[in-house]
Amino acid sequence: MARRPIDPLGAIGGLFQNPSPAVPATPAPAPEVAVLGVAALSRLIRSALEGGIGRVKVGGEVSNARCVSGHWYFSLKDEEARIDCVLFRSDAARSRVTPSDGAAVVVSAQVTHYGPQGRTQLQCSGIDAVGEGDLAARFRALCDELRSAGSFDASRKKPIPTVPMCIAILTSAGSAAEADCLNAVRERFPAARVILVDIRVQGQQAAPGIAAALRAVDASAKAHRIAVVLLVRGGGSLEDLWAFNERVVADAILGMRTPVVTGIGHESDTTIADLVADLRAPTPSRAVTETLPDRAALHEEVGSFEHRLARAWTLTHERRVGRVDLAARSRALSDPTRGIEVRHAFVAPWVLRLHAASQRRIEAESARAQVLARTLTAISPLAVLERGYSITLDESGRAIKDATGLAHGDSIRTLLAHGELGSRVEAIRPDQSISHD
């Protein structure tokens, strides 16, 4: 008997099951599926999330927090996942905690779906702090360690050259940060030579790569005449910027002989690389403008120097020409002999008057000296000795005025007007003295 062909729509048990000899089965028509618009589907998702999950409390670490017109936008993350969050202005005004990167929090929220951006998120009504997040704790610990070692001290910062003619920019090739820096160089000081160094600015291997690039640039700085190194990248979350918070990057910057300027993230972002760098700029482009001189200001300064130099040369020339003209009209130079004669006739009377005054002064001082000499002679002890008096001295050479100060047998000296006598005390009569009556 010939085998009937297998009807695949009716074959339920497999290829070896014979179909029924009855009328072939007719497949049931597929149900019609309505075509939905994107907005309709978004509403379905939102309804399913809000109705199926509803209000929740979720704990995690805050990341990429930012405030726009009073509304707070941030992410909540743990080791395995991340979800976007929003805290509207009215709820933020009542909240006791403001979202900040690295903070560990618990949010009270409604799970919802935001159609315009196709994003599932938590619409928060309140935030409670529960501690410090892992990244924030690591950041604080390394800051404390480096601060205690003096790595943040201003005294160890290297000065930035006034006019660096060559700079090295370390950033991701083709990034907005690189473009901003190059535009700033063209506008600020196009004479500077720029060396671009491509680095990974985020990810697990970014920090070792940044440190290696810093060391390599520093080693070749003298050969390439690199005056300043700029380490820059655009903004991002705490996780995005984390490579610049690693110890290996901080150690590389601290070991640099070439000055390092950082421009990492936005003005509100601060990394450990910023803290140990020689100069921290708020953005990549500002790192350029705070390193290179202003071309317009330099032109103005050079113009001012040229004007001052020309003015000084003109004044000096005019003074010297005037002095030459004055000398040419001088009678002393035209007739030196006449000048000498005039000066001699003018000075001669003063010389005579000075000589007479000096002579009078000498005579007056001589007379005064004679008077003093006579006075000294009159009161001199020698004059007293000439009148028959004598002076008696003890063994130490002191004059003896009181007999009670001597003892029997003491040696004494007697000074006369002519000569002296040596004798010993044989008798002492303290009661006898010369009468003043």
Check pLDDT > 60 for residue 176: yes
Check pLDDT > 60 for residue 73: yes
Which residues does residue 196 pair with via DSSP β-bridges, in sequence order?
169
Pick the CATH number of 38-132 from 3.40.640.10, 2.40.50.140, 3.40.50.300, 3.30.2350.10: 2.40.50.140
Average pLDDT over every residue of 188-204: 93
Asked if 101 and 63 count as a contact pair (C-beta separation under 8 A), the reply is: yes
Task: Annotate 106-143 with DSSP letters as a single string.
Answer: EEEEEEEEEGGGTEEEEEEEEEEEEEE-HHHHHHHHHH
Q: How many residues does the chain have?
A: 437
Which residues does residue 76 pair with via DSSP β-bridges, in sequence order?
62, 83
Q: How far is CA 367 from CA 250, 261, 371, in A?
A: 92, 87, 6
Q: What is the predicted pLDDT for the residue at 198? A: 96
CA 234 to chain CA centroid, Å, is 23
Helix, strand, coil content of the chain in percent (nearest 5): 45, 20, 35
**The pTM is what?**
0.50
Q: CA-to-CA distance for 287 and 280, rounded, in angstroms?
A: 7
Q: Are strands 166-171 and 119-132 parallel, antiparallel or unpaired?
A: unpaired
Average pLDDT over every residue of 369-377: 74
Average pLDDT over every residue of 368-374: 77
Give whichever of 321-335, 366-380, 414-428 has the largest mean pLDDT.
Answer: 414-428
* 18-29 confidence digits (pLDDT tens): 444 455 556 666
In this prediction, what percent of the chain has a pLDDT beyond 90?
A: 41
Task: Annotate 41-92 with DSSP letters as a single string.
Answer: HHHHHHHHHHHHT-EEEEEEEEEEEEEETTEEEEEEE-SS-EEEEEE-HHHH
Q: Which of 118-122, 296-300, 410-414 has the lowest mean pLDDT?
A: 296-300
Q: What is the predicted pLDDT for the residue at 132? A: 66
Q: CA-to-CA distance for 286 and 264, rounded, in angstroms?
A: 10
Q: CA-to-CA distance for 395 and 368, rounded, in angstroms?
A: 40
CATH number of 158-296: 3.40.50.10550
Q: Is residue 380 classed as helix, strand or coil in its secondary structure?
A: coil
> Which of the two residues, 296 and 398, has the higher pLDDT score?
398
Check pLDDT > 80 for residue 16: no
Q: What residue spans define the domains of the chain? A: 38-132, 158-296, 343-369, 380-437
